[in-house]
Amino acid sequence: MLTILRNRFLRVPDKLYIIIIAVVIIPLVIGAVIYFSGATQSPYKIAFISKEDAPPVKHELIQIEQMNERPAMSALVMGKYNAIVEAVEDQKYTVTTYKDESFKKTIEEYFETGKLPVNHTTAKRGIGTSILGVILLIALMQGVALTTFYPDDRNKSTFKRIMMSPLTSRQYLVAQGMFTFSCLFVPTYFVILVMKICFKINIGFGLGALTGLLIIATALATAFSLFMASVMNRNISLATSGISILTCLLAGCLFNYDSQSKWLDAVTNILPQKPFMTLSQGMEGGQTFSDFPWQIGYIVGWIIVLWFEGSLITKKKVQKGIY
Amino acid sequence: MRFLKIAAFDFRNIIRNPTLLFSNMVLPLVLIGVMGFVTQSFFGSGLLSSYDYYGITMITLSALLVIMTATNAFMEEQVKKANIRMIYAPIAKAEIYLSKILSTFLVGTLSFIFILMIGQYGFGINFGGDHLPYIVILISMLVLFGSCFGTMMCCVLGDEEKASSISQLPVLLFSAFGGIFFSTYGLGKTVAFLSNVSPVKWIVECAFRIIYDNDFTLLLPVTLSLLGASAVCILVCQLTFKPEEFTC
Amino acid sequence: MKTIVSIRNLEKHYGPKRAVAGISFTMTEGEILGLLGPNGAGKSTTINILSTILSPDKGEVEIVGHDLRKEPLAIKQNIGIVPQDLAIFEEITAEQNVRFFAGLYKLKRDDLDELVKEALELVGLEDRKKEKPKTFSGGMKRRLNIACAIAHRPKLIIMDEPTVGIDPQSRNHILESIKTLREKGATIIYSTHYMEEVEAIADRIMIMNEGVIIAEGTKEELIQIAGNETIYRFELNNSQNLDEQRISQIPGITNVHLAENQLTVQSEKSKSILHAIIATLFDNGCTFEKMTSKETSLETVFLELTGKRLRD
């Protein structure tokens, strides 16, 4: 197995994109997420249409631009302004916005009373959880690219040759998994450590919790990519990216959303990403791993199932002489 | 005639590949559906729904991802050798890559016309109503650029895997800064600058202006720039495509 | 002599098709068995079963004293396969390739260096070991393909068309290395489409067709099966006075045929009777422009047995 692992690393220099993923994409994305999440909550931009009146109110969270004419609707769509406010009569304003009703109410109330309602911000997700959500998505998407040696070996019939040696297909997959795992885990962990220790950026987790959560995320991505690489023969990365993006969106890895459909809830509750998000949210809130035995058990269950299915399929294919 | 034959052959190859067909015709719809659904609660009722917003942005993203179809049609392991083999036939090397561009462009444009129609008339997404033809023109120019860019990456890198994984980077970056996933206003000066540099932003803005303001000022410059960029890609293809390097 | 391979009633089906239909054979230590057969004869299936990656439907297989079903790992440890495809990594050096494949077998670390060196020397790639196969010629890649299979000193080496599409020099080198391997005690199964290779190195030849062994033996024995004979053809200038009877009376002649000045005479191979035929022709007042003779070869045997040319 060590031989296989060493073989993977020897072949890395020829696979430029593996290096790109590990050294460029992962750090870049993590950096970007931290940057975006770390920026203080940006003020709402309001276009205030009025010929003479100065804006009646002032607040650090609300930036008001006074103008004579209504801005283009597309500026509103693109988010240049969050709302357009027009004075109808004294102390009465109409608010045009594409945002949800509660936001509209908030702005209306603000202009009428000069104060923001108390519960004007929805509970925001912690920065650490946001970062881990994105990392999970990236890991799931890029895991397959880091598993590329396996389908590569099959195409070049070196896999068949390896199967003729005393090495079993399971051992081969374990070695491949170790490679994928380390290529995902090491750069991610490294970047976050640098951010945390050198730049003193608040990641939201302690080191121990962070290590544990990252191990879970990368292990899941590794099992998933091994599974996909075992099941599919062509267009593996395309299919994997598609599945990863969709499931991560639905599981709320990128942003929280309130689902209004029980049916959809039932579907998304099956996904392993969901308990992962719950877990990291809780950990960021100060709880420990022992508070989430079910969530952890469920994710581990997924890892085991994906892993066994993948290795079973490979074993079957080898026995049938497909490779 | 001969060139059209090659292009027709490539066209058939693409539409016979289920994955490519899926990623061009079904995936954009699924993306719109999922993004729209997930972000539904952030949008108010009436004026603009999450589907209207992500309808345009996800189609823009998918149209850019035609790059993958182009690299796949040109240099996927199973078709690469046969494609390169054409150099033995008495045709110009330009015909080889131009036929890939043309066939990818056709497949892409047809599928996006289909998606836009379905979206507007089937699901009631606002793709401009009577202005839909202009959106079609805009998107098809983007598809043309994607086809040229993907083919160019193949010519330069000579390998599908490399070409598609490296192209993904700028696509994702431009999309993120172009406001495909979330609005980039109010994220500071750096982001504002990057956003203005991103061609994706201008395409999206052009589409939104047409749809919501009947404003066509951006249409001409955007389409012309896309055509220009495509021409540059083709020029690079001509300069870097050396079929003899693939024979062994 | 120690028995290395012992196969009894081996069968393998793909759906209704019988790829291997109950074959049996044994091999003793140090033997080179040439495996011949047209495409689809069942050679590759047999090889895949022997190499343990395909499980047989029926029959018993024992390799180096281990049962295929019970101890596949012990068998794997003792065999080396040279696959038909170039199963090597293009992106790492020749030496790293051999080291990798040898490393898959249970070997002592100290021995590994020595074994890798030995294998590379045997195929003549020692001086290019630091280069990547990307830069190699077809013949060199084939040789590396072999080196990867033999570094762990397997007792049984199975070669599946190891010389496909290479230059004569590389081929000779490969055939020489195979002889060297045998001298070192390896037992070799050599599957090929090239008759001359089998003639050059095999101790015993086995011809397969449609899943069964249709002939087996040394080269001489096989030629005997097909009727060991010599055929002479004469292009006569005139044949009106020729009495075919007189020629067929020559002892050792088995068949005589005359048509439009073309005389064909079949004879037992061992008898030297050409002078008698020519003397008889002159006696009858016949002169000739051209004469050819042809002896039964493996190619003829193969053609006769399978009805197919070998390279079809």
Can you give the residue range of the structural domain that contains A52?
Answer: 44-113
List the single residue in A with minimal CA-CA distance to C52: A164
C107 plus C251 within the same structural domain: no
CA distance C18 to C183: 37
Region label for B129, one of left (φ > 0), alpha (ψ between -120 and 50) or beta (otherwise): left
Please state which of the ranges A95-99, C93-97, C213-217 shows the lowest mean pLDDT.
A95-99
3-state secondary structure C213-282: EEEEECHHHHHHHCCCEEEEEEEECCCCCCCHHHHHCCCCEEEEEEECCEEEEEEECCCCCHHHHHHHHH
Can you give the residue range of the structural domain that contains B93?
Answer: 2-245
Last residue of a domain, one of C161, C194, C224: C224
**Does residue C181 sit within a domain?**
yes
**Does residue A119 sit within a domain?**
no
A7 plus A92 within the same structural domain: no
| Chain B residues in contact with A249 (beta carbon < 8 A) | 34-35, 38
- Structure tokens, A51: 């010929």
Using CB atoms and an 8 Å cut-off, which of residues 213-232 of chain B contact chain A?
Answer: 213, 215
Taking the CA of residue A10 and the nearest CA in chain C, the distance in Å comes to 7
C217 plus C265 within the same structural domain: no
CA distance A99 to B183: 12
If you average pLDDT over residues A223-249, what whole number do you get?
Answer: 87
C154 plus C272 within the same structural domain: no
A148 plus A66 within the same structural domain: no
Task: Give the best residue of C44, C89, C146, C153 to mutate against chain A (max A CB count within 10 A).
Answer: C89
In degrees and rounded to multiples of 5, residue C168 shows phi and psi of -60, -35
C47 plus C190 within the same structural domain: yes
If you average pLDDT over residues A185-199, what whole number do you get?
Answer: 85
| Chain A residues in contact with B19 (beta carbon < 8 A) | 234-235, 238-239
B40 lies within 8 A of chain A by CB: yes
CA distance C165 to C175: 14
Can you give the residue range of the structural domain that contains C13?
Answer: 3-224
A141 plus A106 within the same structural domain: no
A56 plus A149 within the same structural domain: no
C264 plus C204 within the same structural domain: no
- Whether the per-residue pLDDT at B37 is higher than 50: the answer is yes
A18 plus A68 within the same structural domain: no
- Whether the per-residue pLDDT at B198 is higher than 50: the answer is yes
- Whether the per-residue pLDDT at B248 is higher than 50: the answer is no
| Chain A residues in contact with B204 (beta carbon < 8 A) | 78
A12 plus A154 within the same structural domain: yes
A308 plus A204 within the same structural domain: yes
**Does residue A250 sit within a domain?**
yes
| Chain C residues in contact with A164 (beta carbon < 8 A) | 51-53, 76, 79, 81, 83
**Does residue C44 sit within a domain?**
yes
- Structure tokens, B63: 């149209």
Last residue of a domain, one of C170, C192, C224: C224
Per-residue pLDDT at C312: 47
Q: Number of folded domains in chain A?
A: 2
List, in sequence order, the alpha helices (H) in chain A.
2-11, 16-19, 26-38, 73-77, 101-113, 127-146, 149-155, 158-163, 169-193, 207-231, 236-250, 262-270, 273-284, 293-319
pLDDT digits (tens, 9 = 90+) for C38-90: 888 889 899 989 988 888 999 999 999 999 999 888 898 899 999 888 888 88
| Chain A residues in contact with C103 (beta carbon < 8 A) | 3, 6
Per-residue pLDDT at C206: 93
If you average pLDDT over residues A173-201, what whole number do you get?
Answer: 88
List the single residue in A with minimal CA-CA distance to C83: A161
A25 lies within 8 A of chain C by CB: no
CATH number at residue C256: 3.30.70.100
C81 plus C148 within the same structural domain: yes
CA distance A130 to A36: 10
Contact A165 C55 (CB under 8 A): no
Q: What ipTM describes this predicted complex?
A: 0.77
A105 plus A132 within the same structural domain: no
**Does residue A105 sit within a domain?**
yes
Q: Which of A256-265, C57-66, C193-202, C300-309 has the highest mean pLDDT?
A: C57-66
Q: Which residue has the tokens 């994220």?
A: B187
Of B34, B169, B188, Cβ closest to residue A250: B34
**Does residue C32 sit within a domain?**
yes
Of A157, A165, A321, Cβ closest to residue C54: A321
pLDDT digits (tens, 9 = 90+) for C247-278: 888 888 888 888 888 888 888 876 678 888 88
Taking the CA of residue C78 and the nearest CA in chain A, the distance in Å comes to 9
Contact A164 C88 (CB under 8 A): no
Per-residue pLDDT at C308: 63
Q: Number of folded domains in chain B?
A: 1
Whole-angstrom Cα Rg for chain A: 25
CA distance C284 to C245: 12
Per-residue pLDDT at A119: 56
A13 lies within 8 A of chain C by CB: yes
Last residue of a domain, one of A113, A146, A166: A113
**Does residue C49 sit within a domain?**
yes
Contact A195, A203 (CB under 8 A): yes
Give the residue numbers in C contacting A (CB under 8 Å), as ranges: 48, 51-55, 73, 76-77, 79, 81, 83, 85-89, 91-92, 96, 100-101, 103-106, 148
C141 plus C10 within the same structural domain: yes
- Whether the per-residue pLDDT at A291 is higher than 50: the answer is yes
- Whether the per-residue pLDDT at A131 is higher than 60: the answer is yes
Cβ-based neighbour number of residue C272 at 10 Å: 10
pLDDT digits (tens, 9 = 90+) for B46-71: 678 889 999 999 999 999 989 988 98
Per-residue pLDDT at C33: 95
Q: What angle do CA A248, A254, A258 make, to 5 degrees?
A: 90
Last residue of a domain, one of C204, C224, C244: C224
CA distance C234 to C250: 16
List the single residue in C with minimal CA-CA distance to A12: C91
- pLDDT interval class at C222 (50, 70, 90): confident
| Chain C residues in contact with A7 (beta carbon < 8 A) | 89, 92, 96, 100
C212 plus C242 within the same structural domain: no
Last residue of a domain, one of A84, A113, A142: A113
C200 plus C242 within the same structural domain: no
Task: Give the best residue of A25, A42, A45, A73 to mutate against chain B (max B CB count within 10 A).
Answer: A73
Taking the CA of residue A153 and the nearest CA in chain C, the distance in Å comes to 9
A315 lies within 8 A of chain C by CB: no
- Which chains sit next to A, with 3 or more Cβ pairs under 8 A? B, C
| Chain A residues in contact with C51 (beta carbon < 8 A) | 164
Taking the CA of residue A161 and the nearest CA in chain C, the distance in Å comes to 7
- Whether the per-residue pLDDT at B243 is higher than 80: the answer is no
Residue A95 CB partners (closer than 8 Å, separation 6+) = A83, A84, A85, A104, A107, A108, A111
- Structure tokens, C155: 């007792």
C99 plus C185 within the same structural domain: yes
Contact B209, A74 (CB under 8 A): yes
Q: What angle do CA B17, B18, B22 make, to 5 degrees?
A: 120
Q: Number of folded domains in chain C?
A: 2
Per-residue pLDDT at B228: 96
If you average pLDDT over residues B169-194, what whole number do you get?
Answer: 77
List the single residue in B with minimal CA-CA distance to A148: B161
Of A17, A74, A155, Cβ closest to residue B209: A74
Contact B43 A24 (CB under 8 A): no
- Whether the per-residue pLDDT at A247 is higher than 60: the answer is yes
CA distance C134 to C68: 36
If you average pLDDT over residues A102-106, what whole number do you get?
Answer: 81
Last residue of a domain, one of A113, A147, A171: A113
User: What is the residue type of C215?
Assistant: A
- Which chains sit next to C, with 3 or more Cβ pairs under 8 A? A
Looking at per-residue pLDDT, the higher value among A286 and A175 belongs to: A175
Per-residue pLDDT at A310: 94
A279 plus A202 within the same structural domain: yes
Per-residue pLDDT at B206: 94
Looking at per-residue pLDDT, the higher value among B49 and A303 belongs to: A303
**Does residue C307 sit within a domain?**
no
Per-residue pLDDT at A69: 82
- Looking at every residue in chain A, the average pLDDT score rounds to 83
- pLDDT interval class at B187 (50, 70, 90): low
C171 plus C41 within the same structural domain: yes
**Does residue C310 sit within a domain?**
no
Per-residue pLDDT at B186: 65
Looking at per-residue pLDDT, the higher value among B86 and A160 belongs to: A160
If you average pLDDT over residues C200-215, what whole number do you get?
Answer: 91
Using DSSP, state whether A59 is helix, strand or coil. strand
**Does residue C308 sit within a domain?**
no
| Chain C residues in contact with A161 (beta carbon < 8 A) | 81, 83, 87, 101, 148
If you average pLDDT over residues C179-187, what whole number do you get?
Answer: 92
B30 lies within 8 A of chain A by CB: yes
Per-residue pLDDT at B197: 85
pLDDT digits (tens, 9 = 90+) for A14-72: 777 677 767 777 777 777 777 766 655 566 788 888 776 666 667 767 778 888 888 88
- Whether the per-residue pLDDT at C118 is higher than 70: the answer is yes
Contact B53 A72 (CB under 8 A): no
CATH number at residue C95: 3.40.50.300
- pLDDT interval class at B83 (50, 70, 90): confident
Contact A74 B186 (CB under 8 A): no
- Whether the per-residue pLDDT at A121 is higher than 60: the answer is no
| Chain B residues in contact with A96 (beta carbon < 8 A) | 47
- pLDDT interval class at B82 (50, 70, 90): confident
Contact A10 C92 (CB under 8 A): yes
Taking the CA of residue A321 and the nearest CA in chain C, the distance in Å comes to 6
Residue C51 CB partners (closer than 8 Å, separation 6+) = A164, C76, C79, C81, C158
List the single residue in C with minimal CA-CA distance to A315: C53
| Chain C residues in contact with A6 (beta carbon < 8 A) | 100, 103
C138 plus C109 within the same structural domain: yes
List, in sequence order, the alpha helices (H) in chain C.
43-50, 72-78, 94-103, 109-122, 138-150, 168-183, 195-201, 219-225, 244-248, 274-283, 298-306
